[in-house]
């Protein structure tokens, strides 16, 4: 007699986006056709070609961090903390876990760039004031796994804890690997997602040098158009989103509201170019087929395909 395979469900959501600082406001503006892309406010964009961005307006993390901790955490970590708090509450969980529940809960939050704003701030301090003026919190603030670490400290989660760092796929990998952690019995719950704060003059300058960003500066809301023949690049934007992933039996025992079930996950590499996928989408096709095989789902049952459509001319 074999044990039934473990199943993983989603029981909570959290978000911080240019459309709103929670799931409800983000969703309501999204379905109403709203855009979070505006002229850049975070810095003077006159020296770069792309002068639009998706920035989170009116962000406030003071309900999660005190004034001292706000100064010791980069913006990407603050986003992750706020989104994670919302996801915990949405899942009907306490703000802080205790006992066996804490031991059985992990955190896996992806970030491609980590604390870029802090990194560049500290580089400027080194250049103008010398190394003795660097913050002792410099390194902890910029490393990409700090979002996962600080969320664990905030929530009490003592299970698996690390970060996925894989550019645009970071959050997707984080959710997939968190799913696998529950399947293999390493956790009963995982808080998973991604957080990014790339709207900085150096980052935007770097992407502009690659000619990867849209220069439709006079049409912010219409600048990102991935399936349009006239697309000219993507738009830098910041934000975070987190999910509570939970083993089905665990969710049922505590009476959690199940939002969806995760059934399959797979990842591949093209081993092609740094900035372009292999021709014909071979890697994406292999990953999709493998995920469907693991989920035991036929292609005829697929209702929606969410494309990694970057809006660059190459696609």
Compute the distance between CA of residue 185 and CA of residue 103 in angstroms, rounded to an integer: 12
The pLDDT of residue 115: 97
Residue 107: both structure tokens together: 């955190």
Residue 30: both structure tokens together: 């999204």
Residues in the chain: 315
The pLDDT of residue 167: 94
SS3 content of the chain, % helix, strand, coil (to 5): 40, 15, 45
pLDDT along the chain (315 residues), means of 10: 83 98 97 97 96 96 93 97 98 98 98 97 97 96 98 98 97 98 98 98 96 97 95 97 99 98 96 88 94 96 93 86
* Summary count for the chain: helices (H), strands (E): 11, 8
- Give which of 6, 4, 12, 7 is closest to 191, Cα–Cα: 12
Contact by Cβ (8 Å): 235, 54: yes
What are the residue ranges spanned by the domains of the chain? 8-262
Compute the distance between CA of residue 35 and CA of residue 58 in angstroms, rounded to an integer: 16
Q: List C-alpha distances in Å: 112 to 91, 195, 197, 286.
A: 27, 8, 9, 23
Q: Could you report how far apart the first and last alpha carbons of the chain are, in Å?
A: 49
The pLDDT of residue 217: 98
The structure tokens 């701030």 sit at 121
User: Domain 8-262 is of which CATH architecture?
Assistant: 3-Layer(aba) Sandwich (3.40)
The structure tokens 């103008």 sit at 128
The pLDDT of residue 274: 87
Q: Rounded to two decimals, what is the model's pTM?
A: 0.96
Compute the distance between CA of residue 212 and CA of residue 251 in angstroms, rounded to an integer: 43
The pLDDT of residue 2: 52
- Determine how many CB atoms are found less than 10 A away from the CB of residue 154: 19
Rg (CA), the chain: 20
Task: Give the contacts of 199 (CB within 8 A, at least 6 positions apart).
Answer: 40, 42, 43, 53, 54, 55, 236, 237, 238
- Give which of 120, 116, 123, 167 is closest to 146, Cα–Cα: 116
Task: Give the contacts of 216 (CB within 8 A, at least 6 positions apart).
Answer: 52, 222, 223, 232
- Determine how many CB atoms are found less than 10 A away from the CB of residue 30: 14
Identify the burial level of 224 via C-beta atoms within 10 angstroms of its C-beta, where 0-12 means exposed, 13-18 middle and 19 or more buried.
buried
């Amino acid at each position: 007699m074999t044990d039934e395979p473990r199943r993983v469900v989603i029981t909570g959501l959290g978000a911080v986006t240019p459309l709103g600082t929670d799931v409800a406001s983000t969703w309501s503006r999204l379905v109403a056709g709203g855009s979070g892309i505006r002229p850049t406010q975070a810095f003077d964009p006159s020296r770069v070609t792309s002068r639009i961005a998706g920035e989170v307006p009116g962000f406030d993390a003071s309900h999660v961090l005190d004034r001292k901790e706000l100064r010791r955490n980069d913006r990407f970590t603050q986003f992750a903390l706020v989104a994670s708090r919302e996801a915990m509450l949405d899942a009907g969980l306490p703000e802080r876990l205790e006992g066996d529940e804490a031991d059985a809960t992990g955190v896996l939050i992806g970030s491609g760039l980590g604390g870029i704003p802090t990194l560049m701030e500290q580089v400027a301090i080194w250049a103008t004031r010398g190394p003795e003026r660097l913050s002792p919190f410099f390194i902890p603030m910029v490393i990409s796994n700090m979002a996962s670490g600080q969320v664990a400290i905030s929530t009490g989660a003592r299970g698996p804890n690390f970060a996925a760092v894989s550019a645009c796929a970071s959050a997707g990998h984080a959710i997939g690997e968190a799913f696998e952690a529950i399947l293999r019995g390493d956790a009963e719950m995982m808080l998973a997602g991604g957080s990014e704060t790339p709207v900085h003059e150096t980052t935007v300058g770097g992407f502009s040098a690659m000619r990867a960003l849209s220069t439709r500066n006079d049409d912010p809301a219409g600048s990102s158009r991935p399936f349009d023949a006239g697309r000219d690049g993507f738009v830098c934007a910041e934000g975070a989103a987190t999910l509570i992933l939970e083993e089905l039996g665990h969710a049922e025992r505590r009476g959690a509201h199940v939002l969806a079930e995760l059934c399959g996950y797979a990842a591949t590499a093209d081993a092609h170019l740094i900035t372009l996928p292999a021709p014909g989408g071979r890697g994406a096709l292999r990953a999709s087929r493998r995920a469907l095989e693991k989920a035991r789902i036929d292609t005829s049952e697929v209702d929606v395909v969410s494309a990694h459509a970057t809006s660059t001319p190459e696609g």
